[in-house]
Amino acid sequence: MADFRYNKNLPFVKKDARGVWYENGQFIHAKYASDTAAFSDILRWQLQPNPQKKEKKEDGFRVKCIYNSAFLNSSEDMIVWLGHASFFIRIGGVTLLTDPCLTDLPLIKRLVPPPCPISALSNIDYLLMSHGHRDHFDEKVIRQLIEQNPAMTFLLPLEISKLLGKKRSSVLFQEAAWWQQFVVKGDLKITFLPAKHWNRRYLHDLNRQLWGSFWIQYQGISIYFGGDSAYDSHYQEIREVMGKPDICLLPIGAYRPSSVMKTAHMNPAEAVQAFQDLGGKTIIPMHYGTYDLSDEPLGEPLQLLREFDEMNRLTGELKALAVGEVMSLKTTKS
């Protein structure tokens, strides 16, 4: 059956939003459903030598990790990068986790450890999942978090709860279409927004689950968590509807070869443009250095972003966090 899918129990924040088109078992959008790379491009990537092989071998970059569990027991509002697209966020006294991928991936080692034991991640109020790719949806960690946080609510794209398997019936969750606002505590507001990406975990489940990004707002502070996305006009669209975010958590890595990556990921120049489109005040880069997913050297994304900053290409502040570094939200106001 073909129709617009959405959660009938959640409000839309965009007047003309009707949900996301769903047809023949897939979510489809003219702009923001990325074309997956052609098999020939993927095969060529795997068979041809990496033109940056020498640079990559000589690159000694490693993401710094500050081993630190103290932030878990603090009452201060903050953002802590846990690596890749995983963040610990406390805002308005409410605790959030995003895309908690904290262990090795199948055949891919995690290159920087989490800043605290996974067993210490308790008293989490909401777990925000941008999509179901394995470097964002870590089944092992999610199962552990469910056991440690029985009152935690999952805030999910449409149909993602099916990936919880047998745990689905025993956990709290809400699923949203783009431009829908979740029901959450107090003055906190969390809205699900578009991203240009795709979803797949197995051979025959392409785009059966939705993908997206999140707007987190508490009183005078707004945070945009970009999930995983290629560059497109959705950043301008988000600014038009939601306003200018104080803090943008944006991906900058896994962009080479562009023939394979360009429809799903941003390079640093595109991340700068996305930040400008959003009108953000501070950019915190993510999705680099934690896993080796592509051809560019590990340190190249952050190096290029810093060069853009030195050239005054950024319209706001660059805050490149170490894993485990605490960024206080005390002084962040719209």
Rg (C-alpha) for the chain, rounded Å, is 19
Return the residue matching tokens 């993908």.
211
> For residue 51, what pLDDT is reported?
73
Residue count (the chain): 334
- Structure tokens that stand for 192 in this block: 């699900």
Helices of type H across the chain: 39-47, 53-58, 139-148, 234-242, 258-261, 268-278, 300-310
Return the residue matching tokens 């240009």.
196
Half-sphere exposure of 74 (CA within 13 A, CB side): 18
Measured N-to-C along each axis, helices 234-242 and 268-278 cross at an angle, to the nearest 10 degrees, of 20
CA distance 173 to 212: 16
> For residue 334, what pLDDT is reported?
45
CA distance 176 to 191: 9
Coil, strand or helix: which one is 327? Answer: strand
> For residue 48, what pLDDT is reported?
74
Asked if 248 contacts 278 with a C-beta cutoff of 8 angstroms, the reply is yes
- Structure tokens that stand for 76 in this block: 């201060």
Asked if 253 contacts 293 with a C-beta cutoff of 8 angstroms, the reply is yes
- Structure tokens that stand for 209 in this block: 């689950």
* Amino acid, res. 73: N
Asked if 271 contacts 252 with a C-beta cutoff of 8 angstroms, the reply is yes
> For residue 46, what pLDDT is reported?
65
Query: Could you give the strand order of the β-sheet that contains 188-193, starting from the edge strand earlier in sequence?
Result: 180-181, 188-193, 213-218, 221-225, 247-251, 282-286, 317-318
CA distance 269 to 257: 15
Q: Are strands 153-157 and 172-176 parallel, antiparallel or unpaired?
A: parallel
> For residue 331, what pLDDT is reported?
66
> For residue 201, what pLDDT is reported?
85
Contacts of 59 (CB under 8 A, 6+ apart): 297, 298, 299, 300
State the pTM of this model. 0.95
Return the residue matching tokens 């805002």.
91
CA distance 17 to 10: 12
Task: Show the CA angle centred on residue 230, arms to residues 242 and 56, nearest 5°.
Answer: 135
Task: Quote helix, strand, coil % in the chain, to nearest 5.
Answer: 25, 25, 50
> For residue 159, what pLDDT is reported?
96
* Residue pLDDT tens, the chain, 334 long: 689 999 999 999 999 999 999 999 999 987 787 666 555 555 566 667 777 778 888 899 999 999 989 999 999 999 999 999 999 999 999 999 999 999 999 999 999 999 999 999 999 999 999 999 999 999 999 999 999 999 999 999 999 999 999 999 999 999 999 999 999 999 999 999 999 998 888 878 888 999 999 999 999 999 999 999 999 999 999 999 999 999 999 999 999 998 888 989 999 999 999 999 999 999 999 999 999 999 999 999 999 999 999 999 999 999 999 999 999 998 665 4
Work out the widest C-alpha separation in the chain, in whole angstroms: 54
CA distance 91 to 89: 6
Coil, strand or helix: which one is 159? Answer: coil
Burial 225-262 (b: 16+ CB within 10 A, else e): bbbbbbbbebbebbbeebeebbbbbbbbbbbbbeebbb
What structural domains and CATH numbers belong to the chain? 39-328 (3.60.15.10)
